[in-house]
Every structure is written in C-alpha cells, then in structure tokens.
Amino acid sequence: MIRHIVVLTFRSDATAAERAAVSDSLAALPAVIPEIRSYSFGEDLGLTGQEGLGVVPNASYGIVADFETVADYARYRDHPAHQAAVRDRIRPILEARAVVQVDLP
C-alpha cells in the first residue's frame, strides 16, 4: 500500500472561501479516481503549540491518500481532475508544500 502525505501552507491572504474551495475540489476526487483507496484531508486544528519547539508554525492543511500500488498513485497524480484541483484551487493560495510517499506493509 502506498500512502501519499501532503502538507500545505497557504498564503496569509488566502480567504475562507478559497480554503473551502480546496476542500470542495478534493472531496470530488474519490468519485472520479477509482484508484483512491482512502482519502482524508482538512485544515490544521492548531492543537500543537510552538512553544519551545524552535520550528516554523504549523502548516495550514493536510492530505492523506492511500493507493494499492505505485501505478495507482501515478494515475491519481496525473488524473485531470487532480491536476485541475492543484492548478485551480491549491496553487493560487499556496505558500509552501511538503510531500512524501511511503510504502506501508
């Protein structure tokens, strides 16, 4: 199983409507990309404080997606609906992004 983990930091001027549009566009993906086995996403709850950590503030948003195979992940990554969500909803408000894919036993 391949787990795809994305952490997004939105620009400080991103509006509530723009952030909601990210969630709306991501919510539509499992219906059109059958390779998605599990899909969860949402805005940071701000539960972890930064006191004494000496690190940058929490990111704005997280996405976790599971796929059976690397090929399934690649179909998701390259799917036009996913590409549109990234291009039209995420990139316009994106400040920073971190991504990792891990192979789960």
Domains, the chain, in order of start with CATH, read 2-44+59-103 (3.30.70.100)
Mean pLDDT calculated for residue range 23-51: 91
The pTM assigned to this predicted structure is 0.90
In this prediction, residue 50 carries a pLDDT of 60
Which residue has tokens 């950590």?
Answer: 53
Share of the chain above pLDDT 90, in %: 86
Burial grade of 99 (CB within 10 A; 0-12, 13-18, 19 or more): exposed
In this prediction, residue 53 carries a pLDDT of 60
In this prediction, residue 58 carries a pLDDT of 84
In this prediction, residue 91 carries a pLDDT of 98
Mean pLDDT calculated for residue range 15-20: 97
Instruction: Give the CA distances from residue 58 to residues 1, 49, 64, 72, in Å, rounded to whole numbers and listed in that order.
Output: 27, 8, 16, 30
